[in-house]
Amino acid sequence: VLFLAYFALQVIYARRKYKISPPETTGHPEFERIFRAQANCSEYFPIFVSLLWVAGIFFHQSVAAVCGLLYLYTRFKYFQGYAVAAQGRLGPLYASARLLWLLLGLAVAGLLAHFLLP
């Protein structure tokens, strides 16, 4: 949640810096990149939290926590990279996607073990 608050504050600061009033979402290219980075991170947050929760409960808390921390770090790097240049988001984007897939795999493995194994 702190990351989402940080990203939202960055949008507010960018709005002030480039004099873009809400509800406008276009303007200076740097503002648009920051706005899009914040929106993208917010869109993926419910998926991340759901997978983290299920993987933590049904697979292993420590493994899920490490994956969660790595995911948050990659999203932070994604935000920083996207704020500078659109190409700067790609490496962290792919890393965060791999971590989401890993969390999905852990969640599915945990659920299968819980419900299929005696």
Tally Cβ neighbours within 10 Å of residue 44: 17
Domain 1-116 fold: Four Helix Bundle (Hemerythrin (Met), subunit A) (1.20.120)
pLDDT tens for 48-103 read 999 999 999 999 999 999 999 999 999 999 999 999 999 999 999 999 999 999 99
pLDDT tens for 1-23 read 888 999 999 999 999 999 999 99
Residues acting as catalytic residues: 16, 89
Residue 10's pLDDT is what?
96
Residue 40's pLDDT is what?
96
Q: Where are the domains of the chain?
A: 1-116
Whether residue 118 has pLDDT greater than 80: no
Residue 1's pLDDT is what?
80
Instruction: Give how far Cα 28 sits from Cα of 15, 54, 71, 97, Å.
Output: 9, 40, 29, 28
| Torsion of Cα atoms, 96 then 98 then 104 then 107, to 10° | -90
Q: Mean pLDDT throughout 27-52? A: 96
Residue 3's pLDDT is what?
87
